Amino acid sequence: MRWVLTMLPFILPALLATAQSTFQGQVIDKSGEPIVGANVYLKGTYEGTSCDDRGYFSLTTEESGAQVLHISFTGYRTYEKEVVLDLERRKILLGIIYLQETINKLEAVTITAGRLDASGKHRSEVLNPLDIVTTAGATADIAGALNTLPGTQTVGEEGRLFVRGGSGEETKTFIDGMLVGNAYNSTVPNVPGRGRFSPFMFKGTSFSTGGYGAEYGQALSSALILDTKDKAIANRTDISLMSVGADISRTQQGERTSLAAKLQYTNLSPYFKAVQQNLDWRKAPRSIEGNAAFRQQVGEMGLWKVYGQFNHNSMTLEQKDIDRPTLIRPLQLENGYIYLNSTLKNSINENASYRTGISYTRDRNVMDIDGTETEQLAQFYHTKITFDHDLAEAVGLRWGVELLGRDHASRQGMETLNFEELIWAGHGTATWYLNNDLLLSAGLRITHNTLLRETQATPRISAAYKTGEDSQISLAYGQFKQAPESDLLHRQKVLQSPVATHYILSYQKNIKDRVLRVETYHKTYGDLVRFSSKEASGPLDNSGTGYARGVELFWRDNRSIERLDYWVSYSFLDTRREHLDFPELAIPTFASAHNASLVLKYFFNAWRTSIGTSFSYASPRRYHIQEQAGFHQGKTKSYQDLSLNISYLLNSQVILHTSINNVLGRQNVFGYEYGQERNAEGRLNRRAIGPAAPRFFFIGAFITLSKNKTLNQLPNL
């Protein structure tokens, strides 16, 4: 034992004695390209080097014993090799070392087919979240802003999103993944409704014009997926004074929680008195609305969100009889709406996460048409859980289950109709990155509808391939089912869900704040609900069919001219369908063959003013001429609208905003309504359906009170 003691001071340093070893090698990737700048070092030491421009390295070290040689570079899998260094000086030749590429989901190819992103997250986005609220003509309405994008059709009397030959009902809205029932304000016929949700609530929007993933269902044409903001970061009070009403909101935040609440009152009667309207209002639309959002951080990564909103609105329109204009038929509407949504997302471990939630919508409409009262109560329930797994570096799996409920009751006089529908759904999607340039995704959605007693499986497949550093093509195919509308189910419960099949081919190029996008699609409809007798009565069946196809272009540039941001979009649509009482395959009245938009935004730094303008065009729409042979044989004139908005930053707390829609006052016509009697010329009396007013003016002052002076609402406008 003693020898150990004596020798110890000598042995130990000897183990660490100076001996130089030199490593040499070349680092390349699988295509033979040298990896310039790869970091080469012995693990646990500070000694290292970087590869030169041919990928060569030479590393000299004084370390000895068992060591681990480490080679790493961003975007590549780390290479490690055990080496034993003895006491002699030596040269170690390592030859060629291959580094394998890793999948970088931010840089890698993404599926853009049918998908218009405004999330601020992806490179492939076409809008940024603020565009939704700064687009002239949109008056801070989500659907209004999205209507300037390719794939949408202008339908002026509706205010909803009509996508690629689909009706307004074929687009479903989801907030944080949860379904929203009746996402647009209730309104009387031919007066457009606004979206119920303020765009300021959301941090991101993903607007799918087709081919969306298996997680979403019950929408034949389109899914609008909105992500609410996360935890607020500052205490603030916001007050808005507008020509149409006022609102006040308060945001309070803590270390891990935040709570925001807002109360809004809108009344259009002072405005309608001041500005000439096309319609006669006995009681101008008015509404009271409140909402509250609670956020709680859960653990390190999780977030729990609760949102609730209520709205009550009412209006009475004095509608003139088409045949006898002196006869007034009052149309009264009262609507109460409640939406509740609670979601939780969290990670399970490094490679898995989940999202779960529950939502409830209650929408009650009481409409009185010339003394006849109808009441409709719609309730929607949605609960779901979705899991995301990284099975391997390049393989992901998303799966989940959900339950969708719809209760609908309708009363007219003494007659009541109702139904309850429950849909169970399960979905799974596998995504595989073959490399950074090629992505394949395949999914399946299985649903069981307890009311219709049908079980279905619908596939979704998509692929994307990077054709260059900034460009990619993608393909999407999918089948989409949607249960029939409530009014049809009240007539008859023995029906099937109509189906749409989408084929989409898309090309997108993103180059330094410029986006070019070209997309073409083909969509077929099957099992559309139809009156068996081809007249608007009698039994229904699922013998309807239809198709839609088109080409769309989008170009955006906010680089070429400083402070100018603009985009142009064009959509060509060819669609026909045979459904409801259509006697033949015909162009629906909501479809227009050509839609185009130009949106410009310019910021004058010196004046702290932003000016926006947009021009929209839609080619003539079809309408049915009662007295002529044929179907949907009439053509309206084209739709044109020029809108303008101006925001002025008065100081750090006050913004003034004004906007004018339809500056030129063009009398747009959306279609015609017919009476029963003939006029002096022997033709049936008719009335054009047009906008509620020649122009719409808006003036508002937005005030932010906060300790932090820069939190004003400017970017909101």
Partner 1 sequence: MKNITTSLLIFTLISFGVLTLKANDDKYITAMKRIINTVYTSETDEAYQEAIDKLERVAAAKEGKWEPYYYATFAHIMRATRYADGKETKDLQLDKAQEHLKKALKLNPKESELHALEGFIHMIRLSADPGTRGRQYSGMSFKALNKAIAMNPDNPRALYLMAQMQMGTAKFMGEDLSSSCATLEKSLEKFEEEKVGLSTAAPLMPRWGHSQATGMKEQCR
In the complex, the residues that contact partner 1 under the rule CB under 8 A are 1-2, 4-5, 8-9, 12, 37, 39, 41, 43-48, 50, 70, 72, 74, 106, 123, 128-131, 233-234, 512-513, 563, 565, 603, 608, 649, 651-652, 708-712, 714-716
Distance in angstroms (rounded) separating the CA atoms of residues 693 and 696: 7
Query: Torsion angle of alpha carbons 254, 260, 261, 267, nearest 10°?
Result: 150
- Rounded to the nearest 10°, the torsion over CA 125, 512, 611, 598 is -60
CB of 12 to partner 1, least distance (A): 6
- Degrees, nearest 5: CA angle 548-549-550: 135
C-beta of 238: minimal distance to partner 1 in Å?
Answer: 12
Give the integer Cα–Cα distance in Å for 206 and 584: 35
Q: How far apart are CA 71 and CA 100, in angstroms?
A: 11
Alpha-carbon gap, residue 617 to 21, rounded angstroms:
74
Q: How far is the CB of 632 from partner 1 (least distance, A)?
A: 43
Map residue 588 onto helix, strand or coil. coil
Nearest approach in angstroms of CB 616 to partner 1 is 23
Nearer to partner 1, 347 or 652 (CB): 652
Q: In the complex with partner 1, which residue's Cβ is closer, 70 or 320?
A: 70
Q: Which of 209, 215, 150 is nearest to 500 (CA)?
A: 209
CA distance 591 to 545: 16
Q: How far is CA 688 from the centre of its chain?
A: 33
Residue partners of 377: CB distance under 8 A and separation at least 6 = 362, 363, 364, 365, 407, 408, 409, 410
The residue (of 25 and 588) whose beta carbon lies closer to partner 1 is 25
Q: Which amino acid appears at position 399 of this protein?
A: W
Give CA 141 to chain center in angstroms: 13
Evaluate whether 345 touches 303 at the Cβ level (below 8 Å): yes
Least Cβ distance, residue 37 to partner 1 (angstroms): 6
Sequential DSSP letters for 152-193: EE--TTT-S-EETT--GGGEEEEETTEEESS-B----TTSPP
How far is it, in rounded angstroms, from Cα 263 to Cα 408?
29
Residue 585 or 654 with smaller CB distance to partner 1: 654
Please state, in angstroms and rounded to a whole number, the distance separating the CA atoms of residues 615 and 137: 8
Task: Please identify, using beta-carbon distances, which residue of 5 and 680 lies nearer to partner 1.
Answer: 5
Residue 50 beta carbon to partner 1: minimum distance, rounded to whole angstroms: 5
Measured distance CA(607)–CA(585) in Å, rounded: 55
Least distance in angstroms from the C-beta of 553 to partner 1: 23
Q: Between residues 115 and 231, which has the closer beta carbon with respect to partner 1? A: 231
Phi, then psi, of 12 in degrees rounded to 5: -60, -50
Residue 128 C-beta: closest distance to partner 1, Å = 5
In angstroms, the CA 645 to CA 714 distance is 13
d(CA 229, CA 578): 42
Q: Could you identify the residue written with the tokens 């730094």?
A: 605
Closest CA to 358 of 388, 402, 398, 400: 402
Beta carbon of residue 138, minimum distance to partner 1 (angstroms, whole number): 16
Shortest Cβ distance from residue 563 to partner 1 (Å)? Answer: 8
Closest distance to partner 1 from the beta carbon of 105 (Å): 12
Which stretch of DSSP H or E encloses residue 106? none
Q: Distance between CA 67 and CA 43 in Å, rounded?
A: 7
From the CB of 60, what's the least distance to partner 1, in Å?
15
- Angstrom distance (rounded) from CA 134 to CA 609: 13
Residue 297 or 374 having the CB closest to partner 1: 297
DSSP letters for 540-557: EEEEEEEEEEEEEEEEEE
- Residue 146 CB, nearest approach to partner 1 (Å): 17
Integer CA distances (angstroms), 12 to 7, 17, 256, in order:
9, 9, 53
**Would strands 609-618 and 438-449 be described as parallel, antiparallel, or unpaired?**
unpaired
**Residue 349 or 537: which CB sits closer to partner 1?**
349
Element (H, E) at 336: strand 328-349
Cα distance between residue 147 and residue 169, in whole Å: 16
C-alpha count within 13 angstroms, C-beta hemisphere, residue 57: 27
In the complex, minimum distance from the CB of residue 8 to partner 1, in angstroms, rounded to a whole number: 6
Compute the least distance from the CB of residue 75 to partner 1, in Å.
11
Question: What's CA 103's distance to the chain center, in Å?
Answer: 26
d(C-alpha 364, C-alpha 178), whole Å: 20
We find the least distance from the C-beta atom of residue 247 to partner 1, in angstroms, to be: 18
CB of 709 to partner 1, least distance (A): 7
Helix or strand run (H / E) with residue 127? none
**Shortest Å, Cβ 130 to partner 1:** 5
